């Protein structure tokens, strides 16, 4: 079940990426993230009240609550805002594969702080990931304009920064889940992450979203963001959190990072993004590198 949950997370994040792409054509990334988080928080809170599960939230140990809050602010607040910026700049087919390199950073944290070692499979996988990112960074060959290359470079840099922030957030979530290993607590921990960053965004809105764009967006855009938030935050992150209970992080994370394979195909079919053979190969190399690192 852990492996299936991790795969479900990958599919959920593919669907949410497509919905984000649609919403971002009508609003700014920061406004979109605030609306997404506040609306999803409201739905989650109503769910807890309606199902009588508020006791699960209040019963979480304080150390778990702190880990969940910090994890949410880092991953869903900072990380997802950079992710939305990257999606708007370079599209689904390029941004998603680079953000899904977060398992490489998770491995780095283990090597630095957990006493792990760098094996030949880790080195080979890292080379595959780096080459994959390089292929994604190529823009139309020699004829590409300098401005296009700058936008592409900035967008991919934001995607890579997203992966770094997500890896820290995931590591903290894993620590929180191992302290209370059951399904209800896993859902509560994921919800606390969403609540924490939603509250912090609302409080800081006069600074981070000075025009209060999240209050002025069209209802249709808000509805898309709500659905995408439920799919990504309530479902996708819950599935990944649950997978940590049944499956070692070393297996769950690479399975969850298979999103680029789905997102590249969806970007071509649904958004008609221009995706070259080198982009497809780059996405495959990133996913292959992750699997080599964790499963060989």
Q: What is the DSSP letter of 182?
A: S
- Of 70, 99, 157, nearest to 283 by C-alpha is 99
Q: Considering the chain, what percentage of its residues have pLDDT values greater than 90?
A: 27
Residue 139 has pLDDT above 60, yes or no: no
* Structural tokens at position 162: 């997203």
pTM over 0.85: no
92, 266 contact by CB (below 8 A): yes
Q: 35-77, pLDDT tens digit by residue?
A: 999 999 999 999 999 988 888 888 889 999 999 999 999 999 9
pLDDT in tens, 216-249: 889 999 999 999 989 988 888 788 877 877 777 6
Tell me the C-alpha distance between 78 and 159, whole Å. Answer: 12
Do residues 289 and 98 touch, judged by C-beta distance below 8 A?
Answer: no
Rounded Cα distance between 132 and 286, Å, is: 5
């Amino acid at each position: 079940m852990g492996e299936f949950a991790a795969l479900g997370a990958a599919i959920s994040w593919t669907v949410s990426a497509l919905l984000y792409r649609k919403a971002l054509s009508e609003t700014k990334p920061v406004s979109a993230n605030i609306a997404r988080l506040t609306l999803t928080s409201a739905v989650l809170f109503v769910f807890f009240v309606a199902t009588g599960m508020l006791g699960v939230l209040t019963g979480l140990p304080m150390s778990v609550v702190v880990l969940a809050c910090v994890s949410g602010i880092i991953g869903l607040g900072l990380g997802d805002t950079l992710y939305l910026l990257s999606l708007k700049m370079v599209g689904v087919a390029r941004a998603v594969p680079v953000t899904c390199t977060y398992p490489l950073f998770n491995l780095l944290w283990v090597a630095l702080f957990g006493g792990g070692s760098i094996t030949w499979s880790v080195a080979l996988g890292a080379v595959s990931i780096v080459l994959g990112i390089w292929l994604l960074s190529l823009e139309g060959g020699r004829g590409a304009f300098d401005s296009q290359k700058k936008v592409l470079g900035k967008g991919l840099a934001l995607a890579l920064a997203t992966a770094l922030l997500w890896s820290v957030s995931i590591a903290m979530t894993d620590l929180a889940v191992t302290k209370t290993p059951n399904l209800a607590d896993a859902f509560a921990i994921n919800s606390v992450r969403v609540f924490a960053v939603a509250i912090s965004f609302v409080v800081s809105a006069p600074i981070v979203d000075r025009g209060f764009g999240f209050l002025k967006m069209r209802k249709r855009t808000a509805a898309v963001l709500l659905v995408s938030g439920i799919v990504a935050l309530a479902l996708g992150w819950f599935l990944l959190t649950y997978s940590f209970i049944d499956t070692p992080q070393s297996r769950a994370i690479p399975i969850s990072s298979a999103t680029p394979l789905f997102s590249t195909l969806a970007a071509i079919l649904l958004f008609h993004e221009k995706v070259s053979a080198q982009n497809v190969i780059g996405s495959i190399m990133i996913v292959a590198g992750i699997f080599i690192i964790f499963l060989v």
